[in-house]
Amino acid sequence: MNFFRKVLASCLGTSIAIVLLTLFGFFLFGLMATSMSESDKVSVTSNSILEINLADAVNDYAPKSDSPFDQLFEEDQFQLSQVINAIENAKNDDNIKGISILNLMVNAGISQTQTIREKLVDFKTSGKFITSYTDFYTQKNYYLSSVADSMYVTPYGSVEFKGLSSERLFYKDFQEKYGVKMEVIRHGKYKSAVEGYLDNKMSDANREQISSFLNSIWSELIEDIAVSRNKTVEELNLIADNLLTRNATMAIENNMLDGAIYKDQYEEILKTFVGDKPNMVSLEDYIETGKGRIKSSASNKIALLYAQGDILYGKGDETYIGQESMIKAIRKIRDNDNIKAVVLRVNSPGGVALTADLIWRELEILKKEKPLVVSMGNTAASGGYYIACNADVIYAEPTTITGSIGVFGTIPNFSELAGNMGINAEQVATNKNAVGYSIYEPMTKDFYDVTKEGVEQVYTTFVNRVAAGRNMTFEEVDAVAQGRVWTGKEAIENGLVDVLGNMNDAIEAAAELADISDYKTTSYPRFKKDFEDSFKGFPFMSVKENMLKEELGDENYKALKQVKKMSQLKGIQMRLPYDIDIR
Q: Which residue is catalytic, options 119, 191, 340, 370?
A: 191
**Pair type for strands 372-381 and 401-403:** parallel
Q: Please give, one letter per residue, the 3-state secondary structure of 295-311.
A: CCCCCCEEEEEEEECEE
40's CB contacts (< 8 A; 6+ apart) are none
Residue type, 566: M
Q: Is 399:487 a contact under the CB 8 Å cutoff?
A: yes
Q: Which residue is catalytic, options 375, 382, 404, 415?
A: 382
Q: Closest by alpha carbon to 340, among 513, 508, 81, 503?
A: 513
Q: Closest by alpha carbon to 398, among 305, 495, 486?
A: 486
Kindly report the backbone phi and psi dihedral angles of residue 487, in degrees, each rounded to the nearest multiple of 5, phi listed first. Answer: -85, 165
User: Rounded to an integer, what distance in angstroms lies between the CA atom of residue 78 and that of residue 92?
Assistant: 21
User: Rounded to an integer, what distance in angstroms lies between the CA atom of residue 425 and that of residue 177?
Assistant: 21
Q: Is 342:303 a contact under the CB 8 Å cutoff?
A: yes
Q: Is 522:299 a contact under the CB 8 Å cutoff?
A: no
CA–CA distance from 184 to each of 192, 195, 450, 561 (Å)? 11, 9, 13, 19
User: Rounded to an integer, what distance in angstroms lies between the CA atom of residue 492 and that of residue 487?
Assistant: 9
Helices (H), 471-553: 474-480, 488-494, 503-514, 543-552
577's CB contacts (< 8 A; 6+ apart) are 190, 191, 192, 193, 195, 206, 404, 483, 485
Cis peptide bond N-terminal to 63, omega within 30: no
Q: Is 70:529 a contact under the CB 8 Å cutoff?
A: yes
Q: Which helix (H) or strand (E) holds 330?
A: helix 323-335
**Pair type for strands 407-413 and 181-187:** antiparallel
CA–CA distance from 254 to each of 90, 153, 266, 403, 579 (Å)? 32, 14, 21, 38, 34
Q: Closest by alpha carbon to 80, among 315, 375, 365?
A: 375
* 382 counts as catalytic: yes
Number of other CB atoms surrounding residue 329 within 10 Å: 21
* 297 counts as catalytic: no
What angle separates helix 204-229 from helix 233-241, to the nearest 10 degrees?
120
Active-site positions?
Answer: 191, 382
